[in-house]
Structure 1
Amino acid sequence: MKIGYARVSTADQSLDMQIDALTAAGCERVYTEKASGSKDDRVELARVMDLLRAGDMIVVYKLDRLARSTVKLISTLDEIQRRGAEFVSLNDNIDTSTAVGRAFFGMLAVFAEFERNVIVERTRAGLAASRARGRNGGRPKTDRKKVAQAVKLYDTQAHTVTEITEMTGVTKATLYRALKERQ
Structure 2
Amino acid sequence: MIVFFKIDRLARSTVDFAEIMRLAEHQSVALASATEPLDLTSSMGRAMAKVIAVFAELESDTIGTRVSSAHEHLRREGRYTGGRVPYGYMVVPNPNGAGKVLAVNEDEAKTIKRIVERVLTKDSLMQIINDLNKEGVPSPGYSSRQTTGKRSGSKQWYTTTLRSLLGNRS
TM range (shorter): 0.5 to 0.7
Secondary structure of the structure 2 residue equivalent to 1:172: coil
1:104 aligns with one of 28, 35, 48: 48
Contact 2:13 2:53 in 1 (8 A): yes
Alpha-carbon RMSD across the aligned residues, in angstroms, is: 3.8
1:176 aligns with one of 154, 162, 165: 162
Distance 1:68 1:179, change over 3 A: closer
Report the Cα distance in structure 2 between the residues aligned to 1:120 and 1:179, rounded to whole angstroms: 28
Secondary structure of the structure 1 residue equivalent to 2:3: strand
1:161 aligns with one of 100, 110, 133: 133
Once the 2 structures are TM-superposed, how far is the Cα of residue 164 of structure 1 from its aligned partner? 5.3
- Does the alignment pair 1:61 with 2:5? yes
Distance 1:121 1:101, change over 3 A: same
Report the Cα distance in structure 1 between the residues aligned to 2:71 and 2:31, rounded to whole angstroms: 38
Task: Report the count of equivalent residues.
Answer: 124
Q: Deviations over 1:37-67 (max 9, x none)?
A: xxxxxxxxxxxxxxxxxxxx32212112211
Distance 1:62 1:133, change over 3 A: same
Secondary structure of the structure 1 residue equivalent to 2:137: helix
User: Unpaired segments of 5 or more residues in structure 2?
Assistant: 89-108, 140-144, 146-154
Taking the TM superposition and a 5 Å limit, the aligned residue runs for 1:71-150 are 71-137=15-81, 139-140=85-86, 143=109, 144-148=112-116
Q: TM-score, normalised by structure 1?
A: 0.53
User: Sequence identity, in percent?
Assistant: 28
Once the 2 structures are TM-superposed, how far is the Cα of residue 81 of structure 1 from its aligned partner? 0.9
Once the 2 structures are TM-superposed, how far is the Cα of residue 117 of structure 1 from its aligned partner? 0.4
Contact 1:60 1:88 in 2 (8 A): yes
Q: Kindly provide the amino acid, as one letter, of the partner of residue 163 in structure 2.
A: R
